[in-house]
Structure 1
Amino acid sequence: MGMNAASVLNHIINGEPTTPCSSKGATSSQAKALTTTIINHLRLGRLGKAVSVLFSAPVPFPFALYVHLFRICASKKAIVEVRKVESHLVSFAPTPPVFLLNRAIEAYGKCGCLVDARELFDEMPQRDGGSWNAMVTAYSQNGYAGKALGVFSDMHKSGIFAAEVTFASVLASCASILALWLSRQVHALVFKYGFGGNVILGSSLVDVYGKCRRMGDARRMFDEIERPNAVTWNVIIRRYLEMGNGKESVFLFFKMISLNVRPLTFTVSNALVACSSFRGFREVIQIHGLIIKISYEEDEVVSCSLIDVYAKCGDLVCARTIFDLLSPKNLIHWTSMVSGYTLSGKTRLARELFDRMPERSIVSWNAMLAGYAHSSQWDEAMELIILICNDMRNTDRVTVSLILNVSAGLSDLELGKQVHGYMYRHGFYSDLSVANALLDMYGKCGNLRKARAWFYEMRHFRDMVSWNALLSSYARHRMSEEALVIFWEMQQEATPSKFTFATLLAVCANIFAREQGKQIHGFLIRNGYDLDIVIRGALVDMYSKCRCLDYALNVFIGTSVKDVVLWNSLMLGCYYNKQSEAILKLFELMKEDGVKPDSTTFQAVLLACISQGCVKLGGQYFNSLSQDYFIIPQVEHYESMIKLYGLHGFFDELEDFVEKMPFQPTAPMLARVFDSSKEYNNTRLGKWAVRHLSFLKD
């Protein structure tokens, strides 16, 4: 034991003035001998035996011994021993001092036995500020914020002067239940009692305002603190990060460093996470340099965050270098690297690492399964699910949701039904994220009756995601009128999101419902929705398909930053409206705007070439797909080229093109060749197409 503990124990042994009573010398000497025995047990870590000696002794002991025992019992959460110590104290000290009973309340609180703590508090003949503080802290630390605030209110009404530590507990309770109005009142009391310069209370106020999403108040409070410490900086940086303002988090982190405040490891981790939110690669490199400088690179939290942020910024080489240099590696490091690979779509490398893991947790399995699901590698995901069922005794809600995503991807309704049963047996049916995944699965598997029935079962806890899932299911299966009915029902229960309107506009486009589309557009504007790039793309697509190209063009022109999806929507809109000549001009404007075309762009361009009879130009565009833009041509591009050559009678080019295709022509391609040959009376190519069609049928 250290010198402080040893001096405390010596004080207990020799502390005759602190003994509760007895005038009898024999009793005093007996207590001293038993105290030595108790302390020897404590030195050897035998708390139970030490308390048993005290509990069975019919003599009082020094108050310092009770204090010491309460403290040790609290640290070990030994509730039985706390009760024995308190029982002995009140049995042999008829009027124990208030400070001792306060220590007992604190010990009960640390052990989570709030009923015992409250009973003792209520039975105390006298209380001081420490008694009230012990009770407030006991409730606060055990998650009973409402009761903690109730005790504080009674304390304040009783005229008891609250100490700094009491205010800290009260503010923590306010933060846990987001009691903004009460927090402001406590803030006023902090200043009234002269604690305005206390950095701990200042940090607590920053924390509670941040959690209540009042970052203006949190920042003003932070700026008023004369010398914020590392904890204070961590609080403000974390709260900005939670509010989605990663850039401000990073700015404050670098400001803290410039003031020579050594950051906590959690602060460094938060700064790295903030960098990943806006892909601040340059800032990541600077923070990495600081990590090496202050020797944090071996810290588990920091190293895992480094791996994660490099992966999210696209630098998997650096992430893997950090991972390989770590020795030893723990489960979190392995899982972080696997997750990094899966987030970047490199599932093969992720699986290689996953198979080498010395141990796995359910989080590791979920990371690998999520990678397969996000990459639509359904067969590999199914194989992993079988391994999960064999390897893991328990699954969590993330696993269940992912398995439902896989069953939706495979359109495996039977697997989804099995998971539905598993949800009921293991209590996952009331988890909203799992319930929404089940709803989505039924919709994607085409069982809309089951989807609607499950949606009805969710009526007491469903949210906007639930409504959107049901709406998307009907839209996906071309039940557009029903989808519009669901939208009107939804408005009675929930506020539509931007995703809802994107789906609705697609529904209107599918059934050429121009008037409904216009109404939705007007609804968005009247209700102040942000018309982001996704919504604008959906509007362009809807107006184009509804033969309102001028409306589509107005939306397009009014968009400041145009992405490839928006350009594609307008190009295809021109094709639907028989304005194919405009597509080739738009393609050139798009390149001038610095937007890189994708496979859909080239499909629109090839359709324009077919309409305009630009056979040679179409061939050039097809070749530039792979040569200039490194895009692998899809089946639809080959079909378009066959249509282009066949429709305009370029049979030499058509025959050469078909022979050089990297795969066997499909039945629709051969049918197109045959129809073109028949129209132009090209018997030889027509017979070739018929022969290959017969092979496909065989």
Structure 2
Amino acid sequence: MKVGSESKSVVEELRESRDLSHEGRGELTREEGDNKIHNSGKLLHAYILRTNQFSNTFLVNRLIELYSKCGHTTSARHLFDQMPVRNIYSYHAVLDACCKSNDLDNAYQLFAQMPERNSVTWNLIITALSHNGYENKALENFYLMRLGGFEPTRFTLASVLSACGGASDVECGRECHGVAIKLGLDENFFVGNALLGMYAKCAFVRDAVEVFKDLPEHNEVTFTAMMKGLMETDRVHEAFDMFKLMNRVGISIDSVSLSSVLGVCAKSGFEDFVVDNDNDGNWHNVHGKQIHGLVINLGFERDLQLNNSLLDMYAKHGDMECAEMLFDNMSEVSVVSWNVMIGGFGQKYNKERAMEYMEKMKNQGFEPNEVTYVNILAACVKSGDVETGRQMFDNMSCPSLSSWNALLSGYSQNEHHREAVMLFREMQFRNVQPDRTTFAIVLSSCAGMGLLDGGKQVHAALLKGEVYTDLYVASGLIGLYSKCSKIEMSKHVFDELPQYDVVCWNSMIAGLSLNSLDAEAFIFFKQMLGKGMLPTEFSFATVLRSCSALTSLSLGRQIHDLIVKDGFAIDMYVGSALIDMYCKCGDVDGAWQFFDAMSCKSTVTWNEIIHGYAQNGRGDEAVTLFENMILTGTKPDDITFVAVLAACSHSGLVDSGLKIFNSMQQEHGLEPLVDHYTCIIDSLGRAGRINEVEALIDKIPCKDDPVVWEVLLSSCRIHADVNLARRAANELFRLDPKNSAPYALLASIYSSLGRWDDVKDVRGMMDERQVSKDPGYSWVEHKTRMHTSLGS
């Protein structure tokens, strides 16, 4: 009877625990509920000990599981260590406890000690490794599992495919895909979603789409994975279309899918998802605001993570006014919320507001973390105040790698490339281990300086680390060698890569184009397509430049067809490259047809078409286009005026050019630059209006720019104006005494007038100043061989 009464007491305690957890669910937190169940577990533990049932392995296993579910891994492990008799389920119970608490060291130790294993064992360890960032270790254990003769389950394959995606190991992913097909699991919900996610993370979107199509049914996980994959490969329009499809077919929209689509909106550029309000001239993020409305309609407006995603979306689009309104009305904020606001103001180059928000953050009891300081540092350097950024960095007791990278990025973005390289060396002296971002930034700075030796040193440092084959870093190396005219080294880096992504292909194509190897660039582009890579906007813009350089209209039209097929014709940069290609290939009417059909025209596209007409000697039409641009309300920029003024100069439209030039300041508030002055000087000079040239020369602020005087000297040569020519030449002698061109031009003007004594004087000046004339040369191509001859 004593045992029975004790048993009743335990049962009553358990029933009380259960009733409390159900009845008080609205008030009892999960932690309080777990503690209540844990206390009940201890009562059971005591009862088992008192009734001498500790040798009952089944009961003790269940007790270990109870401790594990309450989050008391230490108690579970202590109980396991004391067990007199263990079986495989005992190991599974404690292994599961360690894995759930992310105690991977103990988990792996237990795994190694197990006297026997089965599929569940392998699933537990592979899943734990995969979910905690040890993707390669998870894949190693999967191979060992297969070698041991164990057949993977749907859970195994889902975890392994997740690890493949995290490690960007598409080859292993394809192998797992084959195993899934063999086992008939490829259409399983878990495996199918994992397959889709793996291909998406590895940027093989075409494969992800095929998996998506083959799945018998879809859920919010399927659509969210597809959205993320499209977003990460910059296919933001398609990602947003996927969300609209998800909504249309009635898939339940949860907070995760909303966060994902907000990430799509955050990643898109202004041109993709905004309209211009003519009344106040402000940009409005239409799609992002629509999602914001959906968040409210679905009752998620108090969800902190979603609100942070909304803040991030507004901040990424520079709409800090909406971000502030949302922030001020949030029922709950976190350090992440503050960091997004600080980072947003930094993106807007407003370091004062960023610092103001950090002070508010501290005053409201939030402790700034590493991200906060990195964002403040980034705000300083993005505002151009690299010195303040450096001071903040130097005041950090132990700057993290993110801080080093933020300062490096600031130096690089502000074209302080030498300082960036020196900071990288300082990192090495302090034994700070660089990552892929560090290497990419410093390689960019070396490329910006044309510093080949420095780049080679970085390359050598890469060989010692684990990021040598990282695709992001490899792209930086390809770019460095390309910009330093070492295209063979770029090819070597590319050929050595174990796998490729579209960024590496783009870097290689751009490098070939930069080195005037445009035919090879086009061949590489075709090879990229053959490998199943989907071109990006950058791919198309680059290969179109190669078509322009080759003046190959047929190739350009082929690329145009592909652009339309892939849906990139609406992209501003691709559209501009297409217009440029048609114009440089002499098909101005083709350029106009494409331009006229564009639904959204920007300043960039207007500039390109005006420049194209100017290049092809159709100055009147270029001026008409400029006037139409103004009428549409599109704001011209410096480049617009260079294009239209050049058109006026080449077509002899002097008065039109002067009128447009004078409108720069008076009507558009733009200060003329040296390029604008040289266009007008050239235009007046060609027309023989030398007096007006002289009057303009006396007013211009950029008198120390040699281009101005070179243009003037060339104009004097046409009209044999000796006095003005002499003035222009003297200015050029002052600015660059060793340049032979002005001496040659002045001597040519004198010789055309038969003033041989003056020609002799100019040559005497050259001898006195030790200026040597650069030899000219002529070339002729005959049967694929190039023949050249030097001139005197």
Normalization by structure 2: what TM-score? 0.65
The change in CA–CA distance for 1:381 and 1:76 in structure 2 (over 3 A counts) is: farther
Q: Is the 8 A contact 1:544 1:577 kept in 2?
A: yes
* Superposed CA offset, 1:535-562 (max 9, x none): 2221211111222111111111111111
Please state how far the C-alpha of 1:428 moved relative to its aligned partner. 1.8
Partner in structure 2 of residue 18 of structure 1: 48
Letter in 2 for 1:235: V
Take 1:245 and 1:457, find their aligned partners in 2: how far apart are those partners?
A: 35
Q: Secondary structure at the match of 1:90?
A: coil
Q: Is the 8 A contact 2:224 2:260 kept in 1?
A: yes
Letter in 2 for 1:477: N
State whether structure 2 residue 308 is matched by structure 1 residue 306.
no
The change in CA–CA distance for 1:607 and 1:426 in structure 2 (over 3 A counts) is: same
The change in CA–CA distance for 1:170 and 1:18 in structure 2 (over 3 A counts) is: farther
Take 2:40 and 2:597, find their aligned partners in 1: how far apart are those partners?
A: 82
Please state how far the C-alpha of 1:87 moved relative to its aligned partner. 4.6
Take 1:694 and 1:104, find their aligned partners in 2: how far apart are those partners?
A: 85
- 1:210 aligned to which of 203, 224, 232: 224
Give runs of aligned pairs for residues 209-608 of structure 1, distance below 5 A: 209-213=223-227, 233-244=254-265, 263-281=302-320, 283-291=322-330, 294-296=331-333, 299-312=334-347, 318-327=353-362, 328-342=367-381, 347=386, 350-351=389-390, 353-355=392-394, 357=396, 359-391=398-430, 393-458=432-497, 460-495=498-533, 496-525=535-564, 529-608=568-647
Q: Secondary structure at the match of 1:143?
A: helix
- 2:701 aligned to which of 641, 649, 662: 662
Take 1:174 and 1:183, find their aligned partners in 2: how far apart are those partners?
A: 13
Please state how far the C-alpha of 1:175 moved relative to its aligned partner. 7.2
Take 1:95 and 1:561, find their aligned partners in 2: how far apart are those partners?
A: 69
Partner in structure 2 of residue 89 of structure 1: 83
Letter in 2 for 1:475: S
- 2:188 aligned to which of 166, 182, 190: 182
- 1:104 aligned to which of 94, 98, 103: 94
Take 1:622 and 1:365, find their aligned partners in 2: how far apart are those partners?
A: 46
The change in CA–CA distance for 1:570 and 1:83 in structure 2 (over 3 A counts) is: closer
* Superposed CA offset, 1:163-191 (max 9, x none): xxx9999998987779983226999xxxx
Please state how far the C-alpha of 1:89 moved relative to its aligned partner. 1.1
Moved more, 563-572 or 215-224: 215-224
Q: Is the 8 A contact 1:207 1:218 kept in 2?
A: no
Please state how far the C-alpha of 1:572 moved relative to its aligned partner. 1.5
Q: Secondary structure at the match of 2:302?
A: coil
Q: Is the 8 A contact 1:250 1:274 kept in 2?
A: no
Take 1:651 and 1:276, find their aligned partners in 2: how far apart are those partners?
A: 53
Q: Is the 8 A contact 1:180 1:212 kept in 2?
A: no
Partner in structure 2 of residue 35 of structure 1: none
The change in CA–CA distance for 1:170 and 1:206 in structure 2 (over 3 A counts) is: farther
Q: Is the 8 A contact 2:64 2:94 kept in 1?
A: no
Partner in structure 2 of residue 229 of structure 1: none
The change in CA–CA distance for 1:176 and 1:211 in structure 2 (over 3 A counts) is: farther
Tell me the matched-pair count: 609
Partner in structure 2 of residue 143 of structure 1: 130
The change in CA–CA distance for 1:574 and 1:408 in structure 2 (over 3 A counts) is: same
* Superposed CA offset, 1:108-148 (max 9, x none): 54443257469869689xxxxxx97x996665444379999
Please state how far the C-alpha of 1:395 moved relative to its aligned partner. 0.9
The change in CA–CA distance for 1:663 and 1:355 in structure 2 (over 3 A counts) is: farther
State whether structure 2 residue 641 is matched by structure 1 residue 635.
no
Please state how far the C-alpha of 1:510 moved relative to its aligned partner. 1.9
Partner in structure 1 of residue 755 of structure 2: none
Partner in structure 1 of residue 657 of structure 2: 618
Letter in 1 for 2:335: E
Gaps of 5+ in 2: 1-31, 132-137, 146-150, 166-184, 194-217, 228-241, 268-285, 738-768, 770-792
Q: Secondary structure at the match of 2:188?
A: helix
- The percentage of counterpart residues that share the same residue type is 21
Take 1:7 and 1:535, find their aligned partners in 2: how far apart are those partners?
A: 62
The change in CA–CA distance for 1:171 and 1:349 in structure 2 (over 3 A counts) is: same
Take 1:107 and 1:20, find their aligned partners in 2: how far apart are those partners?
A: 25
Q: Secondary structure at the match of 2:130?
A: coil
Q: Is the 8 A contact 2:315 2:341 kept in 1?
A: no
Please state how far the C-alpha of 1:435 moved relative to its aligned partner. 0.8
Q: Is the 8 A contact 1:171 1:208 kept in 2?
A: no
Please state how far the C-alpha of 1:274 moved relative to its aligned partner. 2.7
Gaps of 5+ in 1: 24-30, 32-58, 125-130, 152-156, 158-165, 188-203, 225-231
* Superposed CA offset, 1:291-322 (max 9, x none): 3xx252xx211111122234446766543421
Q: Is the 8 A contact 1:66 1:89 kept in 2?
A: no
Letter in 2 for 1:436: S
Take 1:7 and 1:451, find their aligned partners in 2: how far apart are those partners?
A: 63
RMSD, matched Cα: 4.7
Q: Secondary structure at the match of 2:628?
A: helix
Q: Is the 8 A contact 2:65 2:94 kept in 1?
A: no
Letter in 2 for 1:646: G
Moved more, 4-13 or 589-598: 4-13
Please state how far the C-alpha of 1:641 moved relative to its aligned partner. 2.6
Moved more, 373-382 or 325-334: 373-382
Take 2:589 and 2:287, find their aligned partners in 1: how far apart are those partners?
A: 42
The change in CA–CA distance for 1:142 and 1:263 in structure 2 (over 3 A counts) is: farther
Partner in structure 2 of residue 36 of structure 1: none
Q: Is the 8 A contact 2:518 2:547 kept in 1?
A: yes
Take 1:386 and 1:627, find their aligned partners in 2: how far apart are those partners?
A: 50
Please state how far the C-alpha of 1:359 moved relative to its aligned partner. 4.6
Take 2:452 and 2:160, find their aligned partners in 1: how far apart are those partners?
A: 46
Q: Secondary structure at the match of 1:326?
A: helix
Normalization by structure 1: what TM-score? 0.73
Q: Is the 8 A contact 2:315 2:340 kept in 1?
A: no
The change in CA–CA distance for 1:326 and 1:678 in structure 2 (over 3 A counts) is: same
* Superposed CA offset, 1:423-473 (max 9, x none): 111122111110111011111111111112222212x31222222212211
